[in-house]
Structure 1
Amino acid sequence: MTATHSRIACHACRRGKRRCDRVFPACQLCIRKDMHCSYPRPPAKRSYTPEIVWDDEPLREDSSFSDYHPLPQVEQTPYLDSAFDTARAVQFLAPRIFRDIQLEIPRLELPVPSDVAAYVGDPQQIRDIAAVLFSQNASWLPIVCRKRFFSSLLNPLSPRQADGVLLALCVKLYCTTTVHRGDSPKTALYRTVKRYHHEIEAAGIMSLQVLQATIFIALYEMGQAIYPAAYWTVGTCARYGIALGLDQLMTNNNGFDGPWMEVEEKRRSWWGVLALDRFLNFGDPSRHLATNDPEINYYLPIDDQSFIEGNIAHKDAIPISAAFHLKTGSFARLAQATYLTSEALRLAASAASSKANSPTCLKEDTAQLRRTLEAQVNAAEEEHTARRLSFCCQTMFSYCGIFLLQDQHWQQLRIGSAIVADSHTFPETKRALEVLGRSALVLRKDFENGGPLEEGLPIFFMQTVYLAAMMAMEIGQGNPDKETQEKIDSFRWLLEYLRSRWKVAEIYMEILDAKKAFHDFNSIPVSRTT
């Protein structure tokens, strides 16, 4: 019997009377059933022999990471470990000397744990993961190069590297994991992802694929409302991207040593980090961002289809200041919306912290920005016609920016009645609510008539629907008219539908319930005694 096998079956197989393969750290049956696998403690021995000790009882689904026992690792040679750690330290402590002496980072081969390998699966399972990642339904955040993804995981002439395996594992977590209502989103797969990510981070492995994997972890945590972990993970993305020098690629379009596709993939990943960082602050613009605001001369992602096909050149890159045209892809529009919402977050934070800004001043200062955000929506509608996309992230980001400015304006006015709220509603807000209300009503009627609701909707969609419902409720002030109430009902129905896939929709529903209770309480007339 080898050291990687148990002498007896695991707890789960013993209880279920199944045939256990007794492989450490988890048997194949438990991995396939997404169950945690643990083995009874081995009997004590008279002479000391180092070995792995496992818990007597299976790990509960809600257990913490402190219950995890490290996996057996293949040790590196002392020389390689020392050279790797030294080179990494010099790279951070003295980057100029690191470049001048042309110091190289030795390649570190980190073994892939058996449970991680089982989750990722064989080549066909990897192709299935990739099919979801690169499908049109999941292409709203196209940051991964298809060719590089396949070559790092399906090339029979080269072994799988740890960072490529981590990326595949995180894509599987985000794209394929369904959490049923009432269950914890911290599944066995999620815990495995977090633990393996920590092992790679502790080993000092730095690559674009690790950053991309971390972005997918953040997306899952945001969609499943795992806070504050999502906030920390996005901050990790920011630090990691800066360490890789991605922020330095945004304003320079010449003099790159590597292939242009690699530069484009790095830029796209950094735009993804910038977008997520701002998305997290829509609820509280006073929080400091983990990244600097994008500048007007930042280069946008090239056309999405050209990126997918691998047919790009440096002349295709254009800066944010470039005019709108249909050849610009949806992801480039999201980048432009990210730039605009950065300004909206800055204005909202400034107005919240400064008493010198009057409501009139805020309304005038944001007028041009609101018109530009609405222009983004109009450009997206043209792309919908040309590309047949039902929902574009730039539309949702733009609407969130408008709603953010509107909410801050209402807070300054201290709205107390429906008449006052309606009279101080921006025209862009009214048009946004009209468009979103009609879209939500159409989706609801189509679904009730047997039509399918579009799959693969981004997490930005739920945030936009939630903010739209909040805007409509604020206008109604506890007593909305028929048209406003119809919008609120449609928005709530959409969130109710989406909560079966993402837990954050359920949290949004609870916030809306609390908002309604607050309005109902304030609408109760106060009796006066003489």
Structure 2
Amino acid sequence: MSTRYAPQACVPCRTLKRKCTKELPSCSLLHKDCGYPTPLRIRSARPEEVTVLSDRVKLLEQRLNGDASQGVNSDYATQPQFQGASLTLEVTNTHRLEFPAEFFLELENYRPMPPDHLNAKMFVPSDILRFLESKDSMQALFARYMTGTHSWLPILWNRRTAEKIDSFDESMESGLVLLLLCIKLVTDPPTEQDNAASTPLYRTAKGLCFRLENSCSLSLHLLQSVVLIAVYELGHGIFPGVQLTIAHAARLGIITGLHDRKHAPQLFKDPDTYKMREEERRTWWAIVILERYMNLGTYGQPLATPEPLQGTLLPCSEDSWDNQGGRLASNVPLFASSFSLTTEIGSYASTCQAAHILGLVLRHRDEQNTVVSDTHYRIAEAQRLHKTLVLLSLHLSGQATMDTHNVTNNFTAMGLCYAARVALYNMYACNEHYSATEARLGEETEMQQASIDGLKEVTQCVYQFAHSILDVAILDDQLISRSLLLTHSLYFAASELAWFIREMNYAEDVQFLKVIVELLTVMSRTWRVAKQYLKILEEDGSLASLTT
């Protein structure tokens, strides 16, 4: 009969630290029953533990494959993986993702970095690649973006972005990966069944943006991505998220010094090319435009972006920016003592001009209740703003009349201009709210009459504008996607028309209101914020005349 052995030493031998023979039922050293420890039962792994282990193995394989293909040394430094996601930044040295503390603690000791110094490389995980799909899909996506959002918010350098997409692989600049996600976000709208604030694509883009910033990754692509996230949130009425995102974009732009290239600290060195500097200028202007538009419906909230400086330049023309003209173009100053009749001003530059004047109107509106000013000065400023807006309206409508193609290019600027006029006129169209103890001025009556006449003119212009867009939209299915910044001017006009109908009940005004509501309804299929405007109009009784 063969001797059986225990897998471990008996308890007495282990206690006395003697070499045990492990014989059963007792070891030969003691010649009596020994106590052997009960074998441990191995617990089966839980499913979530298996998933975590599998993810770690895949991550290690991905790192090893990347190291082998790139010849990375053993001291290759990585950022820690963020909990709850498989997004891991890979950088070639530890300094690249270390933000220079001197920039905030002792600016005199700081020297600007190269523009891509904080633009880390990342291995693109599968949960992001499933949105971007293949290189062909990304190229097709970018082509659709160029005919959509880019046509009214042209902040990307077409050639440089296209070249980076052509060279896309699984180890790319983190800023470009985020930018592509955000391009898809604003190009492919959510379905009617989806909640725009909780779609997987939106949450992935917001999550990646947070993780990149938390890793001190900062680049122009990241800032442009934040701008596009704000466009998505604005278009689908995600509040207060859009307000926070725009303010966040403003702070990022101010940190890098885009608001003042001459006097403000510059985080990065000057761009190597004119096109890259123009791309920075256009991105900053986009933040200015969105913030001023966002403050149309509210008041008393200080702007996060400062007013443009005296030497601020406008973006160049679209032909030069998109290389259609085959030449570099000049930049027209925002403030100039005289104008040249031969100077070409693009549609985006016109939008920037309209946004700047809108900002002046918003400041004038908010200072009325917060700053003690001379009544003469306040009325005089209102009259100057009125005349400036009228001239800008004539200029923009004149361009549209001369070239029907410009209707679709200039309508963003026209929408901002009309909204600014309504915001100004609403302050002075009724003068009964002034204190009875204050001295009244004859200029107040003049401004009141100009405001009433201006409201009537603007509502007619917006009606004609809306009618033209509905006609063109039949042939151009992309037109509505380019009309986001028109929504507030449409809402303003609808609200004023409802007031005219209550006061005078003209059949013409009812027809105007019907067309504007029709356009808002069409727009709501692409931009959900239009549906929110319609809901407000319905609840305050502005649409009652359309049901009688």
Matched, 1:382 2:398: yes
Contact 1:396 1:461 (C-alpha < 8 Å) held by counterparts: yes
Judged with a 3 Å threshold, the aligned counterparts in structure 2 of structure 1 residues 519 and 386 are, in CA distance, closer, same or farther, namely closer
Q: Could you list the per-position Cα deviations for residues 197-236 of structure 1 after superposition, in whole angstroms to 9, with x for gaps in the alignment? A: 1111111111111111110000000000001110010011
Moved more, 227-236 or 293-302: 293-302
Find the counterpart in structure 2 of residue 278 from structure 1. 292
Q: CA deviation at 1:266?
A: 0.3
1:180 corresponds in structure 2 to 192
1 CA distance for matches of 2:492 and 2:285?
23
**Identity in percent:** 21
- 1:347 is aligned to 2:360: no
Deviations 1:416-447 (A, max 9, x none): xxxxx996744332222111123334555787
Equivalent position amino acid for 1:379 in 2: H
Unaligned runs of 5+ in 1: 1-39, 54-67, 416-420, 521-530
* Equivalent position amino acid for 2:480 in 1: E
- 5 Å matches for 1:195-274? 195-249=207-261, 256=270, 258-274=272-288
Q: Provide the aligned length of Structure 1 versus Structure 2.
A: 454
Q: Distance in 2 between matches of 1:215 and 1:401?
A: 22
Q: Do the aligned partners of residues 168 and 357 (structure 1) sit closer, same or farther apart at CA in structure 2, a change above 3 Å counting?
A: same
Gap change, CA 1:41 and 1:94, over 3 Å in 2? farther
User: Does residue 1:42 correspond to 2:47, yes or no?
Assistant: yes
Distance 2:263 2:329 in 1: 14
More off after superposition, 89-98 vs 493-502: 89-98
- Tell me: CA distance 1:153–1:44, structure 2 relative to 1, closer, same or farther (3 Å): closer
Among candidates 435, 458, 461, match of residue 432 of structure 1: 458
- 2:136 aligns to what SS in structure 1? helix
Which of residues 487, 492, 497 is equivalent to 1:467? Answer: 492
The one-letter code of the counterpart of 2:147 is: S
Contact 2:271 2:277 in 1 (8 A): no
Give the alignment's TM-score, normalised by structure 2. 0.73
Whole-angstrom distance in 2 between the partners of 1:80 and 1:337: 45
In structure 1, C-alpha distance between the alignment counterparts of 2:236 and 2:116, rounded to whole Å: 40
Task: Report the Cα distance in structure 2 between the residues aligned to 1:49 and 1:178, rounded to whole angstroms.
Answer: 31
AA paired with 1:409?
Y
Amino acid at match of 2:163: S
What are the superposed Cα offsets for residues 43-67 of structure 1, whole Å, 9 maximum, x if unpaired? 768xx996769xxxxxxxxxxxxxx
| Displacement after TM superposition at 1:123 (Å) | 1.5
Q: 2:361 is aligned with what amino acid?
A: A
Question: Would the alpha carbon gap of residues 265 and 518 (structure 1) be closer, same or farther in structure 2, given more than 3 Å must change?
Answer: closer
Q: Does the Cα contact within 8 Å between 1:261 and 1:312 map onto a contact in 2?
A: no
Aligned with 1:300: secondary structure? coil
Q: Deviations over 1:287-340 (max 9, x none)?
A: 110010113431110111101118788871221134375611001111111221
The CA RMSD measured in Å over matched residues stands at: 3.7
Contact 2:190 2:196 in 1 (8 A): no
TM-score by length of 1: 0.76
Match of 1:57 in 2: none
Q: How is 1:353-368 mapped onto 2 (pairs within 5 angstroms)?
A: 353=370, 364-368=380-384
Q: Per-residue deviation at 1:250?
A: 7.8
CA distance in 2, matches of 1:378, 1:98: 48
Q: Is residue 418–residue 489 contact of structure 2 (8 Å, CA) maintained in 1?
A: yes
Task: Tell whether 2:417 aligns with 1:405.
Answer: no
Give 1:494's aligned residue.
519
Q: Which moved more, 1:148-157 or 1:340-349?
A: 148-157
Cα distance, 1:186–1:479 mapped onto 2, change above 3 Å: farther
Residue 137 (structure 2) aligns with? 125
Residues 134-184 of structure 1 show CA distances to partners (whole Å, capped at 9, x for unaligned) of 226741110100111112221269952111111111011011223316744
Alpha-carbon distance in structure 1 between the residues aligned to 2:219 and 2:287: 15
Q: Distance in 1 between matches of 2:164 and 2:452?
A: 50
1:371 aligns with 2:394: no
Q: Is the 8 A contact 1:406 1:429 kept in 2?
A: yes
Q: What SS does the corresponding residue of 2:250 show, helix, strand or coil?
A: helix
Q: 1: CA distance between counterparts of 2:503 and 2:203?
A: 42
What is the CA distance between 1:348 and its match in structure 2?
A: 0.8
Q: Does 1:287 align with 2:301?
A: yes
Secondary structure of 1:283's match?
coil
In structure 1, what is the equivalent of residue 314 of structure 2? Answer: 300
Query: Aligned partners of 1:137, 1:166: CA distance in 2, in Å?
Result: 17
Would the aligned equivalents of 2:118 and 2:218 in 1 still touch at CA under 8 Å?
no
State yes or no: 1:80 paired with 2:69.
no
- 1:290 is matched by which residue type in structure 2? A
Look up the equivalent residue of 1:401 and give its one-letter code. Answer: A
Is 1:250–1:299's contact at 8 Å kept on the other side of the alignment? no
1:348 and 1:41 map into 2 onto residues whose CA distance is 62
Letter in 2 for 1:485: V
CA contact (8 A) 1:208 1:266 kept: yes
SS in 2 for 1:160: strand
Q: What is aligned with 1:65?
A: none
Distance in 2 (alpha carbons) for counterparts of 1:288 and 1:277: 10
> Can you give the 5+ residue segments of structure 2 that lack an aligned partner in the other structure?
1-44, 57-81, 435-446
Q: Is the 8 A contact 1:246 1:266 kept in 2?
A: yes
